[in-house]
Structure 1
């Protein structure tokens, strides 16, 4: 459950931002998130399913001035407010975007995702193709 993951070059990454409703805490969705992630891990992880690995992060409120260009202070303040209401990032790695979409259209996954959605104001998932990866030498 908490083991390091290896991400092969050429995979796709899906970045899902989950904006929790006001008054909903990370603790309120922890079980649902865990169950949803286990459904993906246990049912779509073979070559046919295409799931490679994933991570879940909670927004911590820090914003990098060194890594941000053109960020306005009002946007930074708005983002920092998410700490109060809660925001989660779900990052998953797949062999292909098509395999991701097939898994997420599956009834088993949709049931868990729909349960998570009841706690959310908004959720959106963006897909990225890997261009580079590396580790210190």
Structure 2
């Protein structure tokens, strides 16, 4: 569950930003996120539904001066759920399924905003071992 993942070239990546309601913290949503991720992994994984891998990140508060081109240096506290799929159609089918919707609705009740954007993988690489 917490091991490394392999992202094959050509995947579709969905990047979901999750902003919690002001009186909610991640400890309060950790179970909902975990259950939702487990349903995706177990129900839609591989040939069953096109899910390849996923990750959950918490915004650390760091905004790079060197890598940011913006007048604003502020960013709201949020979480990111990153998932990798064989196709956008696989992703949409899984999220339209009642099993997933039940778990998503439990999380959404604690959120002020979510946005999920889809990306095509154009490049990937690793540093050479020394």
Map 1:25-104 onto structure 2 (within 5 A): 25-69=25-69, 71-72=70-71, 75-77=72-74, 79=75, 82-83=76-77, 87-104=78-95
**How many Å separate the matches in 2 of 1:76 and 1:115?**
32
For structure 2, list consecutive stretches of 5 or more residues without a partner in the other structure: none
How far the C-alpha of 1:76 sits from its partner, in A, is 2.2
TM-score by length of 1: 0.91
**How many Å separate the matches in 1 of 2:66 and 2:100?**
38
Query: Secondary structure in 2 aligned to 1:109?
Result: helix
Query: Secondary structure in 2 aligned to 1:112?
Result: helix
Aligned length: 128
Q: CA RMSD in A?
A: 0.9
TM-score by length of 2: 0.95
Q: Find the counterpart in structure 1 of residue 111 from structure 2.
A: 120
**How many Å separate the matches in 2 of 1:52 and 1:27?**
26
Q: Which string of whole-angstrom CA distances, capped at 9 and with x for unpartnered residues, describes residues 34-65 of structure 1?
A: 00000000000022400000000011111001
* In the alignment, structure 1 residue 108 sits paired with structure 2 residue 99: yes
Q: Find the counterpart in structure 2 of residue 16 from structure 1.
A: 16
Q: Which string of whole-angstrom CA distances, capped at 9 and with x for unpartnered residues, describes residues 81-115 of structure 1?
A: x33xxx11000000000000000000000000011
Determine which structure has the larger helix proportion and give its number.
Answer: 1
**How many Å separate the matches in 2 of 1:110 and 1:21?**
20
**How many Å separate the matches in 2 of 1:57 and 1:108?**
24
**How many Å separate the matches in 1 of 2:110 and 2:73?**
24
**How many Å separate the matches in 2 of 1:46 and 1:60?**
31
